[in-house]
Amino acid sequence: MNLHIVYETERLLLMPTSVQDTSFILELLNTPKWLQFIGDRNVKNLAAAEKYIHTKILPQYEKNGFGNYTISLKENGIKIGSCGLYDREGIDGIDIGFAFLPTYEKQGYAFESVSKIKEIAINQFKLDKLSAITDRRNLDSQRLLEKLDLKFSGFIVLPKSEEELMLYIWNSN
């Protein structure tokens, strides 16, 4: 597990999320779209955000060598979103996911960062299948997944949930 690796795109830096990202994670997890489309994680203060990083984010790196990456602008270091690879209960294969602060939506940052994460998944981690889930109302997410060559596979209900989500899959073959 290398928590010091930094991936770069033309405009962005993708760094493994760490406790240094606590205030950013607090802000991101409480944005309207996160709450609507991903769900309330009950992270309402800095202590809860730090606990979330320790219990939900860092164990993914320890188990798999990959996880959630905080996305920053190269030009000024401002943290704008997150994307990553997640071993999520109830999903066959590794889940690719993303979320951005509202100010940084619709500027191509999601496609740029998630394309890089997909490339890393294939070339570095040798994954030959990726899955993604999204809310049926989240049309922007659906369009991005399709642009990344993930195909709609059907609907899925995750364990401990009653919500039906759209499942997208990418296979190397």
Buried b (16+ CB within 10 A) or exposed e, 123-154: eeeebeebbbbbbeebeebbebbeebebeeee
Classify residue 1: in a domain, yes or no: no
Name the domain count of the chain.
1
Classify residue 162: in a domain, yes or no: no
Classify residue 135: in a domain, yes or no: no
CB atoms within 10 A of CB 120: 18
Classify residue 73: in a domain, yes or no: yes
pLDDT at residue 173 in the model: 75
pLDDT, tens only, 149-164: 999 999 999 998 888 9
Classify residue 155: in a domain, yes or no: no
Classify residue 143: in a domain, yes or no: no
Classify residue 172: in a domain, yes or no: no
The domain that holds 41 is classified in CATH as 3.40.630.30
pLDDT, tens only, 122-135: 999 999 999 999 99
Which DSSP string corresponds to 77-122? --EEEEEEEE--TT-SSEEEEEEE-GGGTTSSHHHHHHHHHHHHHH
Between CA 52 and CA 116 the distance in angstroms is 25
Buried b (16+ CB within 10 A) or exposed e, 90-108: ebebbbbbbbbbeebeeee
The residue range of the domain holding 41 is: 7-127
Q: Which residues of the chain have pLDDT under 50?
A: none
Classify residue 96: in a domain, yes or no: yes
Instruction: Note the residue count of the chain.
Output: 173
pLDDT at residue 160 in the model: 84
